[in-house]
Structure formats: structure tokens, C-alpha cells
């Protein structure tokens, strides 16, 4: 029996494991970097051990420190979660060699699946259908498009889609460099890129007595940068023959490597309905909650029981209903999925299952993945589950860094998704419409801005000594005058709007909205009459940010000063760091070289993603301040490109 478990991970999955252990009566030990010293997972566990440093390479990727922490805290088992060292066979061996229980598959099974190229050889022998690799030296135009993939690791790192043969050599070099940096293994391979394919996976469980379960299917086709964004179970629109093929292939894959514990076998399903083996993840998946919801199981508890030697029943229970999960990220989809940092002041999504990493008041930093939470809805039918999830996200109160919330809501309500006609190219194909800024005449945004203004005026009026005499009197004049105005910038997007208003004996009136009246205004609650319809707005201020939450959605505005700071301007051609991060590569360019607009100059790594920084315009590189390994803050000057010859 496991009595004390060390969770070798952080954030959402660490909290998830701690929650199950508490239900099972198992003591928990957390580990934390210095950046995570006050993180919820470290607070919620019974015991916490510090891993000195901030970077993953110095903390959560140090297997020796994790084993040492488990022994020091008196743990008798280790759960790796997902990511970090969860699929490292050497770490699993080190845990076992220390006399601890490893909550995961045998190291030999992990090694068999660690390299995608070796995994395909094993699957071929097991009769699992798969795509044949292509020798890049012999690739022709008839083979296009191609997919370059890293043999190790995952999460979309080291992956490139190639649509022009001339671009293949450069993409091979780029993928190889990223894979070596991310996984310490630069091996890559090339296979056909299947346009219009779906990403479907099968959850498997195997005990130590030879029983193998397949827990239905999940569709994970909605992806950005080859990383999943929306997942659901069961995968919709598959005929019974295809479901049977997927289940049999997944079970054969598990048996072929002597698997134990939780694992996922992933497939690409072509538009013609044929399945091809993609890879096997030898760990618990991020999207496991949708399987839990329809099968009524706690998969973490099942992992722990298998590690203790328990037998699975001959067959799992039958699934019921449909579940959909959306990953809420601190990122801006409209700006190349740029990760965001800052304080998460509030994260509240009522009525749905929320597996979150940060809690209110936590800082979102640059060292780790930008995922904030997984939001899961379950219902008797797919349509109901999708509707519940979209509605819940729309009404969520998310106060902090920019997130992908709006994109998630729009994607869930897109006609193609509602009809289950999605594929792995869905987000790329529809990104423009899913991230389009609201039009200037958008009534909902205008009302939210008016509510923000009304709340700000009410807040100023209630504070003694903060208003002028005219302000305390409401700015009242004896004769009509021009309207006053305040400006706000919508976030994200940066569209600026001016709200014109008058303060009269009757109160606040919007100069450009004659059908709108203010029924009540306080610092945090504003009630408007909109052509006879009563609407309520919750307003929260954090610095110059205004968060306005309504039943129809949330809005974020930045209150703009009347006189902008002239020192905030950058010289023309300046290339500033779009985010805090680490320079991992610099292109082979030198000061004095001519560069073209969009030409890559360097690569920044932030939040486990690599971001290409390009020349803002054609011209001459007159300064280059970036060096490999340099840590930069947002706005740091990286280079200068002077226009002209």
C-alpha cells in the first residue's frame, strides 16, 4: 500500500494528483522551484520540498533531486504527472532503484515508445497500421506536403509542415536544432502530412496481471502549433468498424511492449476514414478528464491502484454521455499565440469542472507552460456538452493576462465544429475569423466601456479628498457645454475608443447613446437601461485595467491617460522583445548585412514554446544586441534595422 506519494510535477496536474490522494487517504509531498514557492500545488500538499532555482532544467527536470526529495520527506512512491520527466525511463529506474514505487509503466515499455522511429518499427510488427517514413534526400514534389518531426519528445516541438520542396533543407535544420535544444536529441524524420486528417486517440489501461482496457476514443483535432486546444470523448462521427479497429490496435500496441498503467495510443484518421498510428504516450494525458467524465472513473486513482498491484476487472464500465474539454492558455492567439505573463487576479468559471494551476493572486511567469486551466463540460449529448462549455467560458471571470478564452468560445460555436466537421487544420484555417476584433460599432463593447466609465466615476466620488470641488459637484454647469470624454483601449487587439458623456442633475448620460440610461452605478456594479432592457455589469479595476463581466461575455479595457508619455516611443526599425524569455538561437547575420522584411533574426524561448523574431522591415541591420542564452525582459532592444540600402 502506498502511504506517502511524492508528486514530481507542478501546477494543474500536481493539484489534480494531490486531490485524489486526499480522497484515498494518501499523504502527499510536493516539490517546487523558487518561482513556485508560493504556488497552490506547494501549499495544498502535506509536505513540500524546495528545488533550488527557477528554470526547469535546474528543478523539475533533475531526477536526482526529485528522488532525494522523496527519500528526505519519507515518501514511498513517486507519481510523475505529465511533461517534465514523466516519460523518461532513466528517471523511472532511479525511482525503483531507490526502493520507491513508480506510478507508471515499466522503464522498458517507456524506452520502446520514447523514440517515434523505434515505436513505429514495433507497431509495424504488432500489425498496427501506420504511415511510412520518407527519406528527405529522395523526396519529390509528388510527396508534398511533408511533416518533419522530432523522434523524441512531444508538445509540437521540432515539428514543421513543408509545402515547398525548396524549403525542406532549412526546415530540417530548424526542426533538428529545436529538437536538440528541447529534448537533447536532434533526431528527426519525415512522413507525409495528411491534409484534413483528424487526431483521434485511445486511452489504455493495463494491470500487472495481463488485463488491458481500452476506454473509448478522444478527438483532439483542434490544435495550435501541433498542441491540443479542445478535446472531447467519445470522438464523434466514427463508424463502429473504425472504433473497433482503433481499440484493437491500441490494445495490441500495449501488449506488444508489456505495458502497465495509464497510456494513450494516438492515431491520425484520414478523411477517407483510415487510421494510422502516430505515437504512444506512456503517461497520463492532459485531456484525461473527458474520459473520466463519461466512464465515471478517477484515472489517477486507477493508476495508484495498479501501482499497488490490484487487478482490473475483466471489462470497464460502459461509457455514458459526452464530455468536452477546453484548455485555457495565457496567450494571445491574434499575435501568433504569444504567451502572456502577469498576475492572475481572478479565475472563476462557475458550473463546470475546472482543473486549474494558478489560484487568484498568483503570478504567471515565463518558465513554464502557459496553460492556466482545463475547463470540462459533460452532458447526455455532444450538442449539450458543447453548449454548456461555450456558455460557461463566456460567463467566466478571468482577470489577468490575456487569454485564448474568446477564441475557445468562437471555436465551440463555429458551424463546422458544431457539426463535428473538424480536422487538425481547423484553427489555422479559421484563425482570422476566430480572432477578429469586434467592430467599432459593437454595441456590447460600447455598453461595457460605458459601464467601466460609470464605475470609475462612482469610485472617485466615494473616496474622500480625491476629487476636486467640481468633481464632487459632478462637473455640473449652469449652461450646456461640450461632452466630456475618456478613452479606453480594448484588450487584446489595441482598438482605442472614446466614451463621450455628460454629468447632469439626473446623473451620467452617454452623449452618443440616447437610448441608454444609468439606473445605478457603484465602484463594482453598474446597471444600465438599454432601450427598456435592464442589463447588469460587474466591474473590477486592477491598476489601469478595467475588467467588465456580463452574462454575454467579458471585456477588458485599459484606461488611457489624457496625455501619452512621449518617452514611450521607440526609434523606427527597433526590434523589441515581444515577451520575456531566453534567446536560444541567433541567425547567421551580422551588423551591416542587408535583411528582408520577415527574415528570421533570432529565436526566443518562453513558456516551453519557441518564437521566431523577424526583421520588421527590409533594410540594413545596424545593431544586434541578442546573444544565445541571454535572458530578456519584454520590451528589451534586440536589434535595429535601418530602412533603405
Q: Which residues are catalytic?
A: 283
CA-angle at 35, arms to 38 and 32, nearest 5°: 70
Backbone angles phi, psi at 223, to 5 degrees: -135, 150
Q: What does the CA dihedral 132, 117, 111, 60 come to, rounded to 10 degrees?
A: -120
Beta bridge partners of 638: none
Rounded Cα distance between 510 and 518, Å, is: 9
For residue 434, whether the previous peptide bond is cis, meaning omega lies within 30 degrees of 0, is: no
Helix (H, G, I), strand (E, B) or coil at 579: coil
Residues 6+ apart with CB under 8 A from 504: 476
Q: Name the grid cell of 246.
A: 482503433
Beta bridge partners of 585: 603
Distances (CA, A) of 473 to 260, 500, 507, 508: 74, 19, 11, 13
Residue 394 contacts residue 375 (beta carbons within 8 Å): no
**3-class secondary structure for 281-319?**
ECCCCCCHHHHHHHHCCCHHHHHHHHHCCCCCCCCCCCC
**What angle in degrees, to the nearest 10, is found between the helix axes of 107-114 and 89-97?**
170
Q: What is the dihedral sign for C-alpha 223, 226, 228, 234?
A: positive
* DSSP count for the chain of H helices, then E strands: 16, 38
Distances (CA, A) of 47 to 3, 27, 72, 98, 255: 13, 8, 11, 20, 37
The Cα diameter of the chain in Å comes to 90
In this structure, what DSSP letter does residue 325 have? E
Residue 576 contacts residue 583 (beta carbons within 8 Å): no
Alpha helices in 353-421, H assignment, sequence order: 382-394, 405-412, 415-418
Residue 28 contacts residue 48 (beta carbons within 8 Å): no
Residue 115 contacts residue 151 (beta carbons within 8 Å): yes
Residue 585 contacts residue 603 (beta carbons within 8 Å): yes
Beta bridge partners of 609: 606
Helix (H, G, I), strand (E, B) or coil at 166: helix
Rounded Cα distance between 339 and 200, Å, is: 27
Closest CA to 590 of 631, 620, 633, 557: 620
Q: What is the dihedral sign for C-alpha 592, 598, 601, 606?
A: positive
Amino acid at each position: 500500500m502506498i502511504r506517502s506519494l511524492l508528486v514530481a510535477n507542478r501546477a494543474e496536474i500536481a493539484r489534480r494528483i494531490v486531490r485524489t490522494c486526499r480522497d484515498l487517504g494518501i499523504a502527499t509531498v510536493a516539490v517546487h522551484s523558487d518561482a513556485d514557492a508560493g504556488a497552490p500545488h506547494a501549499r495544498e500538499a502535506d509536505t513540500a520540498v524546495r528545488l533550488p532555482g527557477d528554470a526547469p532544467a535546474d528543478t523539475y527536470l533533475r531526477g536526482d533531486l526529485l528522488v532525494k526529495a522523496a527519500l528526505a520527506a519519507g515518501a514511498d512512491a513517486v507519481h510523475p504527472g505529465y511533461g517534465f520527466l514523466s516519460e523518461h525511463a532513466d528517471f523511472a529506474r532511479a525511482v525503483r532503484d531507490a526502493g520507491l514505487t513508480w506510478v507508471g509503466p515499466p522503464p522498458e515499455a517507456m524506452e520502446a515508445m520514447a523514440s517515434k522511429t523505434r515505436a513505429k518499427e514495433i507497431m509495424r510488427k504488432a500489425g498496427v497500421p501506420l504511415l511510412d517514413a520518407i527519406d528527405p534526400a529522395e523526396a519529390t514534389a509528388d510527396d508534398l506536403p511533408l511533416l518533419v518531426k522530432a523522434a523524441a519528445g512531444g508538445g509540437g516541438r521540432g515539428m514543421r509542415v513543408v509545402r515547398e520542396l525548396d524549403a525542406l533543407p532549412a526546415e530540417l535544420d530548424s526542426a533538428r536544432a529545436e529538437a536538440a535544444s528541447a529534448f537533447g536529441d536532434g533526431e528527426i524524420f519525415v512522413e507525409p502530412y495528411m491534409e484534413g486528417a483528424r487526431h483521434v486517440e485511445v486511452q489504455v489501461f493495463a494491470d500487472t496481471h495481463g488485463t488491458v482496457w481500452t476506454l473509448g476514443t478522444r478527438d483532439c483535432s483542434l490544435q495550435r502549433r501541433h498542441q491540443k486546444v479542445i478535446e472531447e470523448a467519445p470522438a464523434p462521427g466514427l463508424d463502429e468498424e473504425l472504433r473497433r479497429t482503433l481499440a484493437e490496435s491500441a490494445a495490441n500496441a500495449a501488449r506488444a511492449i508489456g505495458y502497465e498503467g495509464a497510456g494513450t495510443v494516438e492515431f491520425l484518421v484520414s478523411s477517407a476514414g483510415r487510421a494510422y498510428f502516430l505515437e504512444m504516450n506512456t503517461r497520463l494525458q492532459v485531456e484525461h478528464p473527458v474520459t473520466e467524465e463519461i466512464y465515471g472513473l478517477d484515472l489517477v486513482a486507477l493508476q495508484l491502484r495498479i501501482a499497488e498491484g490490484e487487478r482490473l476487472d475483466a471489462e470497464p464500465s460502459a461509457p455514458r454521455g459526452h464530455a468536452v474539454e477546453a484548455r485555457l492558455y495565457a496567450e494571445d492567439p491574434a499575435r501568433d499565440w504569444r504567451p502572456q505573463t502577469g498576475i492572475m487576479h481572478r479565475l472563476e468559471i462557475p458550473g463546470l469542472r475546472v482543473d486549474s494551476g494558478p489560484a487568484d493572486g498568483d503570478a504567471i511567469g515565463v518558465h513554464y507552460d502557459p496553460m492556466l486551466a482545463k475547463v470540462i463540460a459533460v452532458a447526455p449529448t455532444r450538442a449539450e456538452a458543447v453548449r454548456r462549455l461555450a456558455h460557461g467560458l463566456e460567463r467566466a471571470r478571468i482577470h489577468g493576462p490575456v487569454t485564448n478564452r474568446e477564441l475557445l468560445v468562437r471555436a465551440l460555436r463555429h458551424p463546422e465544429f458544431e457539426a463535428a466537421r473538424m480536422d487538425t487544420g481547423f484553427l489555422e484555417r479559421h484563425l482570422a475569423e476566430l480572432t477578429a476584433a469586434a467592430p467599432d460599432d459593437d454595441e456590447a463593447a460600447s455598453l461595457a466601456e460605458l459601464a467601466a466609465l460609470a464605475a470609475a466615476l462612482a469610485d472617485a466620488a466615494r473616496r474622500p479628498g480625491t476629487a476636486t470641488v467640481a468633481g464632487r459637484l459632478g462637473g455640473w454647469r449652469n449652461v450646456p457645454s461640450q461632452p466630456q470624454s475618456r478613452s479606453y483601449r480594448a484588450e487584446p487587439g489595441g482598438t482605442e475608443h472614446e466614451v463621450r458623456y455628460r454629468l447632469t442633475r439626473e446623473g451620467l448620460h452617454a452623449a452618443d447613446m440616447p437610448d441608454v440610461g444609468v439606473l445605478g452605478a457603484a465602484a463594482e456594479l453598474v446597471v444600465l437601461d438599454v432601450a427598456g432592457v435592464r442589463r447588469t455589469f460587474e466591474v473590477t479595476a486592477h491598476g489601469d485595467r478595467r475588467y467588465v463581466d456580463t452574462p454575454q461575455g467579458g471585456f477588458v479595457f485599459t484606461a488611457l491617460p489624457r496625455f501619452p508619455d512621449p518617452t514611450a516611443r521607440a526609434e523606427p526599425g527597433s526590434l523589441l522583445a515581444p515577451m520575456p524569455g531566453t534567446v536560444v538561437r541567433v541567425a547567421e547575420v551580422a551588423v551591416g548585412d542587408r535583411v528582408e522584411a520577415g527574415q528570421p533574426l533570432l529565436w526566443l524561448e518562453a513558456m516551453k514554446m519557441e518564437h521566431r523574431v523577424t526583421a520588421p522591415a527590409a533594410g540594413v541591420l545596424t545593431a544586434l544586441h541578442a546573444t544565445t542564452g541571454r535572458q530578456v525582459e519584454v520590451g528589451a532592444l534586440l536589434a535595429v534595422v535601418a530602412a533603405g540600402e
